Amino acid sequence: MQLSAFLASTLLLAIPGLVSAAPTDDACSLAARDVLSARAPTCNPPKPNAQDAAAVKKYDDLMAKMSAATKAAHTGSCACPASKVTDFQKSKDKNLRTTIKTTCVNGYQTCVTQRKAANTACTQLGGTVDQGHLTAVQVCQTQLNNWKARVA
């Protein structure tokens, strides 16, 4: 009887951990590890002299532009999760396939455009665009080309 009570309590403690570790389809949401171990900004532009109000305003405006463009790029790439590929491949409905293709093409086009805008803002600030951000543009472009080539 003691063994079964111990086993039952162990299972009750383990089940929430198993459920929370189950895979999900939402690859675009932030995980706790992403928030807790976020990388430092990689652009690293030089900060302007605090007495130069025009330079500070330009810096703040370009930083806001870069941040907004990065957020929009993520939103664009998240418009087409992996489940859309499966839905597209399995569907026999031409209208549904056209809708999915349009959504994904528009999402990845936004991703490419906005990632390029963020990289441009970084260089305008005097920062350096790292290889990871250049690769991100290429990944979005590749996905865009793949979706454009699909036949609805």
The number of domains in the chain is 1
CA torsion sign for 99, 105, 109, 111 is: positive
Asked whether residue 108 is assigned to any structural domain, the reply reads: yes
Asked whether residue 123 is assigned to any structural domain, the reply reads: yes
Asked whether residue 46 is assigned to any structural domain, the reply reads: no
Asked whether residue 40 is assigned to any structural domain, the reply reads: no
Asked whether residue 32 is assigned to any structural domain, the reply reads: no
Where residue 44 falls (left for φ over 0; alpha for ψ -120 to 50; beta otherwise) is left
Asked whether residue 12 is assigned to any structural domain, the reply reads: no
Tell the residue number behind the tokens 């472009």, with chain if given: 141
pTM for the full predicted model: 0.71
CA atoms of 135 and 130, how far apart (whole Å): 9
Asked whether residue 112 is assigned to any structural domain, the reply reads: yes
The predicted-structure confidence for 9-48, as pLDDT tens digits, reads as follows 655 555 655 544 544 555 565 554 444 445 555 788 888 8
Segments of the chain with pLDDT less than 70: 1-41
Asked whether residue 142 is assigned to any structural domain, the reply reads: yes
Q: How far is CA 107 from the centre of its chain?
A: 11
Domain that holds residue 150: 80-152
Tell the residue number behind the tokens 């703040």, with chain if given: 60
Tell the residue number behind the tokens 């009750």, with chain if given: 12
